[in-house]
Amino acid sequence: MKLILATLLLVFMVSACGQKQEADTQAHQTEITEQATEEATEQTSTETTETAKAAPVNKYCMVVSEHEIDPKVTLEYEGTVYGFCCEDCIPKFKKDPEKYISDFKKRNGAKEF
């Protein structure tokens, strides 16, 4: 009888331990997911506005010049704030900013800002 009770007690303890481990693992995974989401959000907002305190120098997107800018989607490059129509344009601009700045100056007849 003692053997049966000891076995049942052991089975119960192992089962409870496994459930706690599973709950701890799920809580940890949730925490990691939340941290990753926060970091991604912070990175996006930092890239998008990159402390753009001044108004953008352009009215139309630096990449898609037919589209008006979204004043919330800006990037500071070499001390000048540029506006974009959407966040998808920022990485394109970053690949070759001088090309887009040159095109902007040609369109606007500006040699310097």
Ranges 6-10, 39-43, 83-87, 106-110, most confident: 83-87
Contact 74, 52 (CB under 8 A): yes
Residue 30 CB partners (closer than 8 Å, separation 6+): none
- Is the pLDDT reported for residue 112 higher than 60? no
Res. 31 pLDDT band, cuts 50 70 90: confident
- Burial (CB count <10 Å: 0-12, 13-18, 19+), residue 53: exposed
Residues 43-82 pLDDT 10s: 544 554 444 478 999 999 999 999 999 999 999 999 999 9
Residue type, 10: L
Residue 39 to residue 33: CA distance in whole angstroms: 10
- Burial (CB count <10 Å: 0-12, 13-18, 19+), residue 79: exposed
